[in-house]
Amino acid sequence: MILTKILDIQIGVAVKDFFNKIRTPDTDINRKQKIMLPFFMLLLGIALGIFSKWLDNLSIDDTIWWQHLLGVLDLGNVFSGFGIWICLAVAISVFSKTPLRAGLHVFLFFLGMCVSYHLYTILFCGFNPMAYMMIWYGITLLSPILAFICWYGKGKGAVSLVIDIGILTVMLLVSFAIGIWYFDVRSVIDTLLFICTVVILYTNPRQSVYSLIGAVCFAYMIRLICVSPSTITF
């Protein structure tokens, strides 16, 4: 019994050391931040969920300057796509103090976004897209695990590089039209979102270059054998 406990402790220490070598959590956070940051992430998700559905229902009038600007930026399609949500989730993850808090923050963000989008649709659009929303609720349930992993993407070493390649591969597939003989830009904003994700994950020049090369290779491989995740929309 004692030997088992000692072994468990040693394994736990070894696992902790392994992850700390990739990136060390910052435990310097006060009680106010522990409460306010998750609350802010929930509110941010609620606001963006409502904004996204509002954009879906907005009929653009080019004679009104701000609506014309929304049309030029094509924000309706941007918030209906997958790229902006990945970029925001990655940003929330890597700038959290610890991987556990990254999981909490991203979960609350997606929860607020999905619930507010869903309720807005029911209350103001007159229908309940339950089957469709189940996809996003499923993503919400998985988001803490994905955020925990993403947090280590802004670390160092081979594990961090692999995580970066995975994130950038998905961003490439949702931001660009990729085929056997072509590589096309979907929109300026999609390109900017991809660049923002690269900047967010930046640790050092070598890792960024390697992760970009790896992401391009994997994106082409995936695109050849399956459907791009850019088909997933909000």
* Residues 153-183: tens digit of each pLDDT: 999 899 999 999 999 999 999 998 887 777 8
CA–CA dist 233, 169 (Å, integer) = 18
- Looking at per-residue confidence, does 26 or 90 come out higher? 90
Split at pLDDT 50, 70, 90, the class of 234 is: low
Instruction: Compute the CA torsion angle 16, 20, 22, 28 (nearest 10 deg).
Output: 130
Q: What is the mean pLDDT of residues 111-126?
A: 93
Backbone angles phi, psi at 220, to 5 degrees: -65, -40
Please tell me the pTM assigned to this model: 0.87
Closest by CA position to 215, among listed 205, 207, 227 = 207
CA–CA dist 150, 140 (Å, integer) = 15
Take residue 86 and report the two structure tokens written for it: 């990945």
How far is C-alpha 5 from the geometric centre of its chain's CA atoms?
38
Query: Which residues share a beta bridge with 87?
Result: none
Q: Please state which of the ranges 5-9, 91-95, 161-165, 168-172 shows the lowest mean pLDDT.
A: 5-9
Take residue 130 and report the two structure tokens written for it: 């339950």
Q: What is the mean pLDDT of residues 110-117?
A: 96
Q: What percent of the chain has pLDDT over 90?
A: 55
DSSP state of 95: T
Spans of all domains in the chain: 31-231
Mean pLDDT, the chain, rounded, equals: 86
Helix (H, G, I), strand (E, B) or coil at 185: strand
